[in-house]
Amino acid sequence: MLSRFNTLIFFSTLAYLSMQASPTSPAPQLPLIVAHRGASADAPENTLPAFRLAWKQGADAIEGDFHLTRDKRIICIHNSTTGKYANKSLTVRKTKLADLQALVPAPHQFPTLAEVIATVPPDKKLYIEIKSSRQIVRPLLKEIDASGISPQQVVVIAFSGRVIKKLKSQRPSLKAVLLATPRYRSKARTLEPAPEQLLEAIKRTGADGVSLYAHPDIDAAYTQPFLDAGLELHVWTVDAPETAKKWTDLGALSLTTNKPATLRQSLGL
């Protein structure tokens, strides 16, 4: 009787250990919702009202575009000239901050990086997209240090590998992500740049990951090499719920969107 009891205990233990060793696959981690140029579907892009509205809509982070002015100030504007936003077209890098801000009346004037940082709550993040050359790196680091924002709240993104490389050489601990726009090449019948090309670029620059344009042809075969290499995967611009679900399943760490409130609702946040 004792022997039979011990046998039952033995096999019950084996069954339990087997269940513990083979857990079900965890659900995909929900990505951060990053407001593209603020809540830009509902307010003028890259303005303080757009950024403040993004926080009200529950964004986990805001993303803005930044240029260096003639007097070495950092200003939030997407284009290199002001024609899209004002009656007068000036080149940002050739114009002083005061002259640029005078073009558009408050509250929609071009904000400085310091003004944008001031809107960021302690538990949120700021994605800084660099639109200038490498000359912006030193003023950028100085501005971040002076602002008091935690470095863990900051993610620098750029299409320029030179900008990323210089940033990482001067501040290795600051998160930096390389932007890329995969396009389908009909002649080659493939997306370019290929993952291998981007991985090489990331290696050269020291970037912490990649942020991809949400091309509809991108699939797990394209994105998995980045995850396998231990790199971060981000994506832009995602406004449709089905696209958000796709990239969540692909393992994206963040989704950049013009509609943070809509995307939060579609993901059940």
Measured at the alpha carbon of residue 81, what is the angle toward residues 76 and 82, in degrees to the nearest 5?
A: 75
In 3-state terms, the chain is what percent helix, strand and coil (to 5)?
40, 20, 40
Segments of the chain with pLDDT less than 70: 1-28
CA 114 from chain centre, in angstroms, equals 19
| pTM attached to this predicted model | 0.89
CA distances for 244 relative to 61, 78, 157, angstroms: 16, 24, 20
| Helical ranges in the chain per DSSP H | 2-21, 48-56, 97-101, 113-117, 137-147, 161-170, 195-205, 220-228, 241-250, 260-266
Write the pLDDT tens digit of every residue in 187-215: 778 999 999 999 999 999 999 999 999 99
Residue 233 to residue 209: CA distance in whole angstroms: 6
- Give the pLDDT confidence score for residue 15 in this predicted structure: 45
Q: What does each C-alpha distance from 141 to 6, 112, 113, 149 come to in angstroms?
A: 67, 14, 11, 11
Question: In this predicted structure, what is the pLDDT of residue 79?
Answer: 98
Domains with residue ranges and CATH for the chain: 29-266 (3.20.20.190)
The pLDDT of residue 28: 64
Question: What are the residues facing 235 on neighbouring strands?
Answer: 212, 255
Q: What is the pLDDT of residues 24-68, one digit of tens each?
A: 445 568 999 999 999 999 999 999 999 999 999 999 999 999 999
By the 8 A CB rule, do 173 and 205 touch?
no
Q: Which two tokens stand for residue 56?
A: 């009200």
The owner of tokens 């994206």 is 252
Residues sharing a CB contact under 8 Å with residue 111, sequence separation 6 or more, in sequence order: 46, 47, 48, 51, 75, 76
pLDDT of residue 26: 55
What is the rounded CA–CA span in Å between residue 41 and residue 63? 14
- Contact in structure between 130 and 174 (CB atoms under 8 Å): no
